[in-house]
Amino acid sequence: MENQITTKDFFARSDVKLKFAEMLGKRSAQFMTSVLQIVSSNELLKKADPASVYNSAAVAATLDLPLNNSLGFAYIVPYNNKQKDGTWKTEAQFQIGWKGLVQLAQRTGQYLSISTRIIYAGQYVEDNSFEGFHFDWNKKNADIIIGYASYFKLVNGFEKILFMSAKEAKDHGKKYSQTFKKDQGKWVDDFNGMALKTVLKLNLSKYGPLSIEMQRAIIADQAIIRDADTLDVDYADNEIPDVNKEHERITLMIQDCKTLDELKKIEKDIPVELIDQFAEKQDQLKEASKQPDLFQEKKGSKK
């Protein structure tokens, strides 16, 4: 039986080196070395499909986030994924850390302040439906974690606090992570870090302005990346289909189209809910290119 290609072999390919060089320039060699070090230090990642490792690393590269577990910006995590034929395959997932989300938000220039915090017993004061959550940091009376909070303030003055109780954070992890249910994965190894990321991601995605980078990070988070360029992803760790994330992914694909030909290629993937967005983008590209209607191009017009 022939030995399967390793991630090290995969990364030695000229096309892979060229792709990372295009994304990172002179920093590409160092970045690739860091990825290979992460793989070599994790027995499960050693067994992971090299293409899945590459695509996860490529997403981190496009977001310009370092893959270093000690830094906490982004991670490559192994996942044992059941295939359609009933067999199991180890694949790599991309996961962003709360520090990575903060970094991407800061780059937009729209956030004046952004932070997360563990809330201990005694610090929670009240939830005012109109004014938000209130805390008193001097009233901690025990080392018991009761929840997690995130806060941001925009340069225009808008600010928002979101609080999630410890139980809500645990329920969220159980709902969206099958590995957590099996007492494995990041939710087990670093529960506080995952809870802080969750409360921050929910706060930003619901109330904050999201750059294209931030949208990409949220869509790619906890996903097996099938194609880093188109952001074709598979949420294998979550048995509950996330319609909102899929819509976000397709919306991003629509926005990224530069020509009518590119738009036409994703036409079959457009759900009913996004038809208006598709049509609006089509009109914009038609106006820019002065080409005939996209839906009429199939009708064999004579030259």
DSSP track, 37-95: HHHHT-HHHHHS-HHHHHHHHHHHHHTT--B-TTT-SEEEEEEEEE-TTS-EEEEEEEE
Amino acid in the structure at residue 134: H
In a structure prediction context, what are the per-residue pLDDT tens digits for the chain, which is 303 residues long? 345 789 999 999 999 999 999 999 999 999 999 999 999 999 989 999 999 999 999 999 999 999 988 888 999 988 887 777 778 889 999 999 999 999 999 999 999 999 999 999 999 877 776 667 888 888 998 999 999 999 999 999 999 999 999 999 999 888 877 778 778 778 888 899 999 999 999 999 889 998 989 989 988 998 899 988 888 888 766 544 455 566 777 777 887 788 888 888 888 777 756 777 788 888 888 888 765 554 444 444 444
* Coil/strand/helix, residue 145: strand
For helices 212-220 and 243-256, the axis angle rounded to 10 degrees is: 140
One-letter amino acid of 242: D
Contacts of 48 (CB under 8 A, 6+ apart): 7, 39, 78, 90, 91, 92
Residue 155 is given by DSSP the state T
The Cα 191–Cα 140 span in angstroms is 21
Q: Give the CB-side neighbour count of residue 140, counting CA atoms within 13 A.
A: 11
Q: Tens digit of pLDDT for each residue in 158-193?
A: 999 999 999 999 998 888 777 787 787 788 888 999
Domain spans, the chain? 1-96+212-237, 109-208, 257-296
Global pTM reads: 0.72
Q: How far is CA 235 from CA 126, 221, 225, in A?
A: 36, 9, 9
Angle between helices 98-107 and 212-220 (to 10 degrees): 160
Q: Which amino acid is at 293?
A: D
